[in-house]
Amino acid sequence: MVGAAAALGYWLLAGDPPQPAFATAVAVLVAACPCALAVAPPPALDRAARVDTVALAESVAVDPAALRVHAVHATHGVGATAALRLAGAIGRSAEHPIGRAIAASAAVATGPLPGVAEFDDVPGLGWRGIVAEVVRRSTDRGTEQAVVAHAVLAGRPELLAEHGIGMPADLAAACAGAAGTGRTAVTVAWDGMARAVLVIGAAARPTAAAAVGKIRALGLTPMLLARDGSATALAAAGQVGIHPDEMAADVPALERLRAAGRVVAVIGEDGTQDDPLAAVEALGRARRAAAVIRWNAVLATIAAVVPLPFAVAGALDPTLAAAIVVTFSVVVLGNGLRLHGFAPTSG
């Protein structure tokens, strides 16, 4: 308005007739109208768009209730499938989550499990029982059915020691390796001999690994917020694709990153059960919106600044100034509406 008044005064003092002078003032006022600037910025997403590090809480990266068998180490010429099958039969009769996890993994890998007789739960150590099934054998007289039974022990090494069964060096090493990665080792013995070690651990949440992949695709750094810094946390990081050097032991560690200039977003802290994939997609949308904001700011500045010199010089009538402003406003609005094309994949 000040610029329009100044232009009016200038052209009147220069001897122009009132009508052209007023037309020039109106053209200046229209050209300077901040319509495009008003519609340029979408909702404030600046901070989310500036995030460069995403920390996943351990609770959203790994589901501790979703246990599964990660590996089977067998010895004495025993196949891993046979060991898993016998351990699964014992585990099916147990009420412990680890037993159920072994049974579930065995059922998937080997099919129907044999029956168990004389099952006994040994508190704090494991389980024992007689696993029996009917098998078909080829003999000189053809194929015959026979009942095969094994006295099976499954649990901690101490359970085997109570029954006078020693641990071979390779199975002892497998137990130590499992402990080193924060997983549970279940030793399996039958017919008086230790024959296998099952490595049991939590399973990654279905969306966590995909979320880490999207974080990297956005050019961001993923981290795992593991409060205890334990081997369990290290195993959790490996399951979702986070490197050991991308772990933070606690919230103060994140604060130190922020103090160093990093912009950190935390997913799943304070007991929340956020969907990590949905949260990462929200960050992606924020970055996309920020790009739109930048382009709209440039377009709005052009719309508000470029026509002004021509309007002040009297080379731009009010109708043309209005057309320029409206055109740029429509372009800015159209550019902002591109955000409606964002299609999340997590639902």
**Reduced to 3 states, what is the DSSP secondary structure of residue 59?**
helix
pLDDT for res 36 = 47
The CATH architecture that domain 47-61+205-279 belongs to is 3-Layer(aba) Sandwich (3.40)
C-alpha 54/C-alpha 233 separation (Å) is: 17
C-alpha 188/C-alpha 127 separation (Å) is: 10
Give the residue extent of every domain in the chain: 2-40+292-341, 47-61+205-279, 64-204
Report the range out of 196-200, 242-246, 336-340 with the highest average pLDDT: 196-200
Mean pLDDT for the stretch of residues 270-295: 74
CB 188 within 8 A of CB 175: no
Q: For the chain, what is the mean pLDDT?
A: 79
pLDDT for res 138 = 72
Burial (CB count <10 Å: 0-12, 13-18, 19+), residue 245: exposed
pLDDT for res 160 = 93
pLDDT for res 159 = 93
pTM of the complete model beyond 0.75: no
Mean pLDDT for the stretch of residues 236-249: 75
pLDDT for res 46 = 64
pLDDT for res 339 = 66
Per-residue pLDDT at 209 exceeds 60: yes
Per-residue pLDDT at 158 exceeds 70: yes
The CATH architecture that domain 64-204 belongs to is 3-Layer(aba) Sandwich (3.40)
pLDDT for res 26 = 64
Q: What is the pLDDT of residues 45-79, one digit of tens each?
A: 667 778 888 888 877 777 766 788 888 999 888 88
